[in-house]
Structure 1
Amino acid sequence: MKKKLISSLLCSALIFANVIGTNVYAFDIKIDPGIQSYVDKSKTNAIEAESIYKEIIDTLSFQAYIEKNWNNLTVEKDMDLYNSTDKSVGKPGDILITVFDKTNSDINAITMGSLTTHAAFVDSDPTKVLELFQDGIGNRENDWRTRYKKILVVRPKIDSKIIADAIAYGHTRIGTPFSYFSNMFQKTKIDKYYCSQFVWDCYFKSGVDLDGNGGKAVFPYDFLRSDKVSIVYKQG
């Protein structure tokens, strides 16, 4: 009964993603085997399952809102980023977010993200990012400006020491494996990560909680809800 309830709520939320009024969510979803793993291992009761369902719906609704208002988002422009012609984008500690778009060239925009988005953050060397792919966390090339069509650069408005600590901690997590659904709604469980959970954990361990809605999961757009960040660059 419990497994069926959780599975039904997850499926309902994914179906909702295709009917809330934008083409952003109009793509075929292959259900990750991790869903069953999450359902099998979950101790969630009916009340908590309902809370999870509401969080997913809230997240998808907020993503739809961002897409609808994309051209009107408040951006505190960092002109260094706008004037640069490098394929890298962002300054150390900046959080990079991409949204699924049919013209995106890299499938990671949907397969590594949370529902329809993906996140990483910029290393102390801004030509690199700390980023989670299916082979785990890596210190990868920062080619986000050319890799994705639509991106946001989100800058934490915090002390530079905290940013340095977050980056240093991120390096200690290199090699940690990827799993989306197994820890999806247990964001403090870090034996495995999904993309935005990793970014959030690096800052959380350094003393700052950037999850703007304080849910059981942390999705990329949840960073936009935090009063501790500002958008400094928008592309697409």
Structure 2
Amino acid sequence: MINSIKLLIALLIATAFLGGCSASNAPEFNTWKSHQQLYQASNKLKIGDIIVTSKDWTSPLSWFGHSAIIVNKYKVGEYPQFCTGYYETDVILWLSKKKKFTVLRYKAFNKKFTTAFLKNISKTKHKQYKIVEKTDNSAFYCSQYIWYLYWKTAKDLGYDLDIDADGGYFVTPYDLLNSKYFDRVLFTL
């Protein structure tokens, strides 16, 4: 277990130094919301909305932020960490544990996309957490899972979609945050 953690840390550091992900070069997002604000607006969330949390420098696994996806009105789906595969939890409970976040919404999310998207969620939620190349569906990590859902859904509907802002080998939460395909959802409270 300790060797696996050391390997993960080395991989994350090497990836950042080699420019394989944009988390190291992405400017810190300046419109983070607190978890109390999302709690008040949680009933406005829609299937497919992506929640990206801010970076947390206290833990190597959080240096790149975290991302999860709204899978129904009340649930967040995610691949949170090693030794934990896909996990769904109540959106209010999940948000109450987060410090700062933002919400992204795909600009072209319509009924047809929703139907295909939900089918892909059911096909992909029985995998293990592992750092893999973004098109590899044998395992997932948080942002790669979300990237894969959008990529596969678009492919199923007959078009190409790469929501990774820098198009790299790996996809980070900040690659999603900086993607031109999403609107930042601002809630009026």
**TM-score when scaled to structure 1?**
0.60
Aligned counterpart, 1:116: 64
In structure 1, the partner of 2:24 is 60
Larger Rg: 1
Q: Structure 2 CA distance, aligned partners of 1:98 and 1:51?
A: 18
Deviation of residue 32 (structure 1)? 2.1
Instruction: State the Cα RMSD in Å.
Output: 3.5
Tell me which residue corresponds to 1:95: 50
Matched with 2:87 is 138
1:92-119: CA deviation from partner (whole Å, max 9, x where unpaired): 110111113479xxx7xx63x5x43111
Partner of 1:169: 120
- SS of residue matched to 1:206: helix
Question: Contact between 1:96 and 1:120, CA under 8 Å: does it hold in 2?
Answer: yes
Letter in 2 for 1:116: F
The answer (yes or no) to whether the contact 1:128–1:139 under 8 Å persists in 2 is yes
Report the residue type matching 1:66 in the other structure.
Answer: E
Q: Is the 8 A contact 1:120 1:129 kept in 2?
A: yes
Count residues with an aligned counterpart. 171
Question: 2:45 & 2:166 partners in 1: Cα distance?
Answer: 24
What's the offset of the Cα at 1:90?
2.4
Pick closer, same or farther for the CA change 1:85–1:51 going to 2, 3 Å.
Answer: closer
Instruction: Tell me the TM-score normalized by structure 2.
Output: 0.74
Structure 2 unmatched ranges of 5 or more: 155-160
Q: Secondary structure at the match of 2:40?
A: coil
Q: Is the partner of 2:148 in helix, strand or coil?
A: helix
Whether contact under 8 Å (1:88, 1:144) holds in the other structure is no
For 1:167, give the aligned amino acid.
L
Q: Tell me, which stretches of 5 or more residues in structure 1 are unaligned?
A: 1-29, 39-48, 76-81
Q: Which residue of the partner structure matches residue 151 of structure 2?
A: 204
Percentage identity across paired residues of the two chains: 24
